[in-house]
A and B are shown apart, each in its own frame.
Chain A
Amino acid sequence: MIRLDNVTKIYKGETRAVDGVSLNIEKGEFVFLVGQSGSGKSTMLRLLTAEDAPTSGEIHVAGKDLGRLSSWKVPYLRRNIGSVFQDFKLLPNRTVHDNIAYALSATGATRKEIRAKVPDVLRLTGLSTKLHNYPDQLSGGEKQRVSVARAFVNHPPLLLADEPTGNLDPHTSLGIMQLLYRIYRTGTTVLVATHDSHMVDRMRRRVIELRGGRIIRDEASGLYAQREQTTDEFGDLLDNAYHDLGRSD
């Protein structure tokens, strides 16, 4: 579903946001992308939606080589990728229904299809009663649900979420995560960039950790952090032990 070969992105000639990253994500996986702010998570997601082009390296998304994709085809690529953002990115002057319907009509759906699909996805996300509300009449959690609904209404094979719970309280976050999990269960590949250690530890899915634009960890069912916070001495000790373990794997 996603393949990166030695991808590097350099901003303004100096900042290496992503540095020689290679990775492979299969169809139907649920993957967490973790790392501190500035570790390159968002840049990775921007590269995947062709918002940015890599400085070097190859990116394949949904069977397409992004380096060879002409710019007029980018919209068609994006129809295969649902995107969820920390700040929701809803259209403020449209109702919940119209926000989702717009995403559908942008892909050339007829009115009949819109009438069939929008109620479905609203039911899935638990928003059936908020159909005619405007975004500023909704809570943060509800806005994020709309954003997820919009991303999923086309049933794209891939869903990208950039800090989907960054603005939400733990309880609401859980609801959003459950929603993403439910979407993953329908066979959709889901990639979530997050800071939410709690959620990552709880869900125990594949974790890819970035630091300084490089992958420093890729575990099949990992925790948010490699180890508990300890003193430096202890940390080094544990670090070495961990590496030894990793090699024997």
Chain B
Amino acid sequence: MRFTFFLREATRSLRRNAVPSFAAMASVLVTMLVLGVFIPMVQATTGAANEVRAKVLVDVFLKADATDAAVERVRKTLTQDTKYVGNVTYVSKAEAYAREKKQNPEAYALLGSNPLPDTFRVTPDKAGNVGKLRDELAPLTASGERTVADPAIDEVKNRRDETTKILSATKIVKLSMAFLALLLVLASILLISNTIRLSLFARRREVEVMKLVGATDWFIRWPFVIEGIIVGAIGGVMAIGLLLVGKVAFIDPLKSDFSLIAAPETLNFGVLIAVLLVASVAVSAAGSGLSLRRFLRV
């Protein structure tokens, strides 16, 4: 009885206040549309940035006369005893020679012998830890020179220029995307709460009368919350419909051409829909419930 009463009250006030309700619904729709476009965009860019960052690595060159036992020892040090290590790949002398020869056959034909050492390619656990990883493997002495962690290691190098560039560039991309997303979410919450407050302001007399005949706060509030849920759900569903049309019409045909769109970390569409729907319903329900508080103080 209670719930049906509240539901009836909510639908009647939706019909009675068609214009403000429509405005609230439209602002939910627009917000969700923008978010629906923006969330995958942020994810694709951070995904791409992460992919680039994954290419940051440290090369550990071994001495030319390193024995198999020494190679094994270094491998063990790298995988078990060293901090900040993400992934370790071993490139033997022969492999390195074959690869380089393929790229530059004339130069290597001229050389005759293989000047390349055995190498470990070490990826740091986080791209930002690349410097620390290098310090682990080749600690700085007091005089400012580098020693090595194992006698079999000849030199530890990171591709300095490339690394710092990649790190700072991807950091900026990530930060600015996060900032934009924050701004957008803030703007949408303000927009929705403002619209709701406006439509409530028109009905403050009604709330006053309700209070004076002895209605409890929640008795007054429930219909408004249910109204918010309905408005949010309609706005959210319409936004999702438009996004679906956009996805089928524009994004899917381009998927094969742009790796960015098909970036592996992009949220799949089903989850995106669920997030948007929950967000639109929650924001408008909470918005109308909370905005009402001001008018309930009678």
Contact = CB atoms under 8 A, between A and B. Distances in A.
A83 B5 contact: no
Interface stretch (A2-10, A102-110, A187-195): A102-110
A64 interface: no
A167 to B, nearest CB: 17
Interface in A43-100: 49, 51, 72, 75-79, 83, 89-91, 93
Nearest to A77: B214
Contacts of A150: 213
B212 A90 contact: no
Contact of A83 (B212, B215, B217): B212
B184 interface: no
Q: Kindly name the residue among A75, A76, A105, A110 whose own CB sees the greatest number of chain B CB atoms within 10 A.
A: A75
B208 A89 contact: yes
B216 A72 contact: yes
B109 interface: no
Contact of B213 (A51, A72, A93, A106): A106
A78 B1 contact: no
B206 A91 contact: yes
A105 B5 contact: yes
A77 B208 CA distance: 16
A77 B215 CA distance: 10
Contacts of A78: 211-214
A79 B1 contact: no
Interface in A17-66: 49, 51
Interface residues of A, number: 22
Contacts of B215: 75, 106
Contacts, number: 47
A185 interface: no
B210 A102 contact: yes
A89 B212 contact: yes
Contacts of A51: 212, 298
B211 A75 contact: yes
A111 interface: yes
B213 to A, nearest CB: 4
Given A89-B209, A90-B209, A91-B209, A111 B214 contact: no
Interface string B87-123: 0000000000000000000000000000000000000
A91 B205 CA distance: 8
A110 B1 CA distance: 8
Contacts of B298: 51
Contacts of B213: 78-79, 83, 102-103, 106-107, 150
Q: Kindly name the residue among B5, B206, B213, B217 whose own CB sees the greatest number of chain A CB atoms within 10 A.
A: B213
A75 B216 contact: yes
A150 B215 CA distance: 13
Q: Kindly name the residue among B16, B214, B215 whose own CB sees the greatest number of chain A CB atoms within 10 A.
A: B214
Interface string B168-212: 000000000000000000000000000000000000011011111
B203 to A, nearest CB: 9
Nearest to A87: B205
A77 B214 CA distance: 7
A93 B209 contact: no
A122 B211 CA distance: 22
A121 B206 CA distance: 22
B269 interface: no
B219 interface: yes
B214 A76 contact: yes
Contacts of A72: 216-217
Given A106-B210, A110-B1, A111-B1, 9 more contacts: A49-B212, A72-B216, A72-B217, A78-B211, A89-B208, A89-B212, A105-B5, A106-B215, A107-B214
19 contacts: A51-B212, A72-B216, A72-B217, A75-B214, A75-B217, A76-B214, A78-B212, A78-B213, A78-B214, A79-B214, A83-B213, A89-B205, A102-B210, A103-B213, A103-B214, A105-B5, A106-B215, A110-B1, A154-B214
